[in-house]
Each structure stands twice: as structure tokens, then as C-alpha cells.
Amino acid sequence: MAFKLAKIKFGMISGPFFLLILAVSFAWASNDELYSLVRLFDKIAVTVSDRYVDDIDPEKLINAGIEAITEKLDPYSRYLYDQDYFYLIQETSGEYSGIGIEIENHSDTLLICSVLKGTPASQANIRIGDRILEVDHIDAIGKSPPDGRKLLRGENGSMVSLKLWRPLLQKSLDLKLPREEIHIEPIPYWGIDNNNNGYIKIARFSEGSLFEVKSFIFLLQAEGIDGLIIDLRDNPGGLLHESVEIAGLFLNKGDKIVETRGRGAASLRTYEARENGVYNEGPLTLIINSQTASAAEIVAGAIQDNDRGLLIGSTSYGKGLVQQILQFSDNSALKLTTAKYYTPSERCIQKDRMKNELRSDSESEQKVIYYTKSGRPVFGGGGIIPDIYVESWENEPVIDEIITAGYISDFVEASSARLKIDNNFSVSDELVDQLFKYIQGRDYTYHNPIYNSFDLFLSQNIEQSEETSLNDHFDAIVKILEQNSKNEMLSMRSRFKDILYEFYIRTNLGEKKAFELVYQKKDPELIKAGKVLKNPETYSSLLVGF
């Protein structure tokens, strides 16, 4: 019986795990060494299962070994089984009830790596890079991504409480938001701006994106547009083939789009435009930001390196890893990084945030300057650097806090029914006063960074003193800083008015109407893109590098 047990265990270990070892160990071992290491792992696993003081679940033992290896590779390589594999199929095929985020494991913390536009998470101002500390008061530290998804997802309409850590603010945030059916619309809105430029917002490269983008280009061309703006901000990527085909819509037949490079000949592949694109000549700008990633960076890099259009905004995220899903059984697969993306000028898109601990030797440092097809210099180092840098439309910390807490969205939802919201709608001073009163009624008090720093200093360095005069001095300083914080919030009255207007329009009239009434007038990247396209001389000179 003991022999039979060992045989079963050996077969189980040398199935998916053998393929995994073969994929990730070959970098430092010859074939003979590799097989020896696999046999060693089998022997250790069987020994632990047979002789450890407590009973061991063989499947859990092997899964733990696999996960330990993938954690040493990069943040995106993962072994998917059971619920984790189910969630992958669920996300790629369609709809689920959740809050609209994607998570990865980073140093024992659940890291938010994508926020879908128009979802509860987006409306609550959750951001890529936020860390999840608690879900419904359950500690999320050390939880795996599938365990995190179990906590986050639930019945449509039910509420979920989150405690997040925002590194930029160095503070935690408490949120409560509803679960909704999540359906990813690749093109949330499109239209024509005040300068007669077409505009298409691409939120994600999912199945069918090519057909939609192509259809909208035809419709815009029929309207006689003078130029085209493609908005890739906050686009986390998606399917490679969709991004390649969409890039080809703006290029000429044979133009290089992207190259994948891995270790084997099979991973070396060059993608080119298969035919002349439907919009391969007209003026073109792309808007990118720090949340533009992966497949979206492929499109941006192809347009820039082929001198086909101008990039406007801020440097993209820098996620240039190719993942393959290697199926092992009906309910398990390995999501493995097998190559990296390189733009036509041979820039590597990947920004090296996390060293691969299993790499046998370090890669040589990338050179800094590369050249486009016409000889225009562009810069490497990971991510795509725009041709024209424009400061993003960032909110002040107090506004950011209030949006994240959900106070503005709650106020807008509660007050919309008694207002007439149409193209002529405007936010009155009285409405702003009502917002401030509403926020105060929620027991919210804003403390600016100076107050927070002083409060931290007191908590870490000063104990309650018996010296009354000293305590009085500290109390006086605190009161001054509290008043300064209040004055700072009140001084942003006009900004609150703009934010309220945007929320009312977007909530009641939709994203397309928000583009017409808000973004064209307030969005600095969009305004800049329109101005560049309106001036042919500026556009042409920037495109040739003069």
C-alpha cells in the first residue's frame, strides 16, 4: 500500500509540476541537471507526505511548491487552479458581480493592478497601486488573489467594505461600495470635439474591439473630421491580437508594430500591419498616462516609432511582458511570462520594477536613446514617453479624499431627482454650500499634510506632559493647523463646483455627454491634443523632430 501511495504521489507531482520545472528551471540547468532536480523535488515531496508529523494534503503540498516558484519569477506569472482558474475564465469571457478591479499578489499584499472605468471601484476613486488591507473587516494581508476575489465578489447589489492603503498619501482609506455586474465595454464613448477632430476612447482591448474602433472611424470619416484623437488613458491592455490589428488601422502595409522576444525561437515573433489601414494618413494624436499599460503601450509605441502620430500626456506604466496560458487539466493552467514586448525602434516596454530572483544572470542595461523610422530620437527605460508632456488633471488631496470616501457620488445621487440636469445645467453656489453641509454631517474633517505631519510627530515623540503651558502650546498649534485645513478646503470652492458639475453630468447624462460638456473644456491632455491637431505646422514639425 505504501508503494502504491508513493506511485500516486509521483505521478501527480510529475504532471503539471514537471512541465512547470521544465519551463522555469532550464535557464540555469542542462537537461541532465534539470531531470535530477525534478527527481529531487519528487523525492522531497513524497518524503514530506509520508513522514511529516501531521497528515499532509498532497495536492496542497504540490500547489504550495508551484506557487513558491512562480512568486520568484515576476508579479504576473502564476499557477491557476480551482477558483483561481475559474476566475480567469470568468474575466476573459464576460460578466461577474464585483466592484471592477483586478488584483495581483505583491509582497504578501493584494495589489490593485487594474480599475475598470464606470464600475463601483472607478466611481469610488480606487486607483491602480492601492493595497487591500481588509475586505468586510477580514484581514487581507497574506491572502492569495483567488481568496481576495472570493471576498470581493458576491451577490449583485450587496455591499462590500474595504480598507485600502494608498502609498502616495501614506494613509489608509475606508470605503463601502456596492457590487454590480461587471461588463467591460471596450469603447465607452466616442464623438467629435469642438475643433472637428474625431475622438475615440479605448478602455480595453477585448474581443470585438477592432470591429468597434474600425466602425467608429468610418462613421467619423463620414462626418468629415480634420483629425483623430485616440484616448488610451487608464487602459490596462488586453488581447495582443486586438491591439496589433487596431494599431494596423493607422499604419501602412508592412509597418512593424511590435516584436516579442523570449528565450526560444518560438517566442521570437514580429507583428506587422497586414494591409493599409483605414486611417493611415490623417493627423493623429494618442493620449496616454501612467495607467496606460501592456497592449495599449504596444499601440502607442507603434504609432510613435513609425512617426504616424504624436503622443500626448505622461509616461505609460511599462508592462511589456507576454503571458501564455499553458493548460494542464480541466481546472488548472500555468500563466507564464514567456517573452517581452519590443517596439519597432527596439525599445523594451517593460519597466523593471521587480528583480527576477531565479534569473541566472542579470540583463544588460538598456540604452537610453532609440530612433524612430525617420530618425527622431525617443527614449527607453521602460514605458512609452510621450512626445508632448502634459500634467495630468489631478485633484487636490482634500478633493481626492472626499471623492474616495464616496461623499460626492452619494450627494449627487441623493440630489439629482430634484434638479433639472440637461445641456443647460449649472452648479449654483447654493448647491456647493449644500455639499459642504452634507460632508460635515458625515463627520468628515479634512486635515492637510502639515497637520498630519505634526500630529504624527506628537504621537511618536511627545507624551502627555504635566507641564500645562507646554500642552497649551501644542493645543494652540493644533487649533491653528485645523483652521488652516478648513480654510484650505473652503478656498477650493470653484474646484468643488467643477467636480460637482462633472459628477452630475456623468451620472445622469453619461460619459459621452460628459465628453461634450466637461472634458473638452477642462481636460488638459484633451485640450492640448485638439490644439496640436488644429495647427498643421506645429503637428508636422513635432512629428519630424524639429
| Residue 516 per-residue DSSP state | I
Q: What burial class does residue 507 get, using C-beta atoms within 10 Å of its C-beta: 0-12 exposed, 13-18 middle, 19+ buried?
A: middle
**Are the C-beta atoms of residues 142 and 106 closer than 8 Å to each other?**
no
Q: Kindly list the domain boundaries of the chain, sorted by start residue.
A: 2-72, 95-182, 189-322+340-357+366-392, 397-522
The Cα-based distances of 193 to 293, 387, 436 in angstroms read 26, 22, 33
Q: Say how far apart CA 261 and CA 265 lie, in whole Å.
A: 9
Q: Is 212 helix (H, G, I), strand (E, B) or coil?
A: helix
Type of residue numbered 123: Q
CA separation for the pair 105, 113 (Å, rounded): 10
pLDDT values of the chain reduced to their tens digit, one per residue, 546 residues? 333 333 334 344 444 444 444 444 444 445 677 778 788 888 888 899 899 999 988 888 888 888 888 888 887 788 887 777 766 665 555 456 889 888 877 667 888 877 877 789 988 888 877 889 999 999 999 887 777 888 898 888 899 999 998 876 778 899 999 999 877 778 988 999 999 999 999 988 988 899 999 999 999 999 999 999 999 998 988 889 999 999 999 999 999 999 999 988 878 999 999 999 999 999 999 999 988 999 999 999 999 999 999 999 999 989 888 888 888 877 788 888 889 999 999 999 988 755 555 554 444 445 589 999 999 999 888 899 999 999 887 777 788 778 877 788 889 888 998 999 999 999 999 999 999 999 888 877 777 778 778 888 877 776 655 566 677 778 888 888 888 877 888 888 999 999 999 989 988 888 888 889 999 988 999 999 999 999 999 999 999 875
CA atoms within 13 A on the CB side of 266: 2
User: What pLDDT does 4 receive?
Assistant: 36
Q: How many angstroms separate the CA atoms of 400 and 393, rounded?
A: 12
Which residue is it, cell 512562480?
A: 70
Residues 6+ positions from 260 with CB-CB distance below 8 Å: 267, 268, 269, 271, 322, 339, 340, 341, 342
Question: What is the structure's pLDDT at 353?
Answer: 59
497 classed as catalytic: no
Task: Determine which one of 42, 84, 193, 305 is catalytic.
Answer: 305
d(C-alpha 279, C-alpha 262), whole Å: 32
What are the phi and psi torsion angles at 422 (to 5°)? -145, -165
Say what the pLDDT of residue 111 is: 82
Is 191:201 a contact under the CB 8 Å cutoff?
Answer: no
**CA atoms of 301 and 290, how far apart (whole Å):** 14
Do the domains at 95-182 and 189-322+340-357+366-392 have one common CATH topology?
Answer: no
- Whether domain 95-182 has CATH 2.30.42.10: yes
Residue tagged active-site, from 294, 314, 316, 485 = 294
What integer pLDDT is reported at residue 104 of this predicted model? 74
Q: What is the pLDDT of residue 358?
A: 53
Per the annotation, the verdict on 360 as an active-site residue is: no
| For helices 2-12 and 58-71, angle between their N-to-C axes, nearest 10 degrees | 30
Overall fold of domain 189-322+340-357+366-392:
2-enoyl-CoA Hydratase; Chain A, domain 1 (3.90.226)
CA distance 27 to 358: 9
- C-beta of residue 402 within 8 angstroms of C-beta of residue 408: yes
pLDDT of residue 466: 57
Torsion over CA: 87, 261, 19, 142 (sign): negative
Catalytic residue among 9, 143, 319, 528: 319
DSSP state of 466: S
Give me the residue label for grid cell 460638456: 517
CA distance 372 to 270: 17
Which are the contacts of 61, defined by CB distance < 8 A and separation ≥ 6?
A: 45, 48, 49
User: Is 305 among the catalytic positions?
Assistant: yes
pTM of the model: 0.73
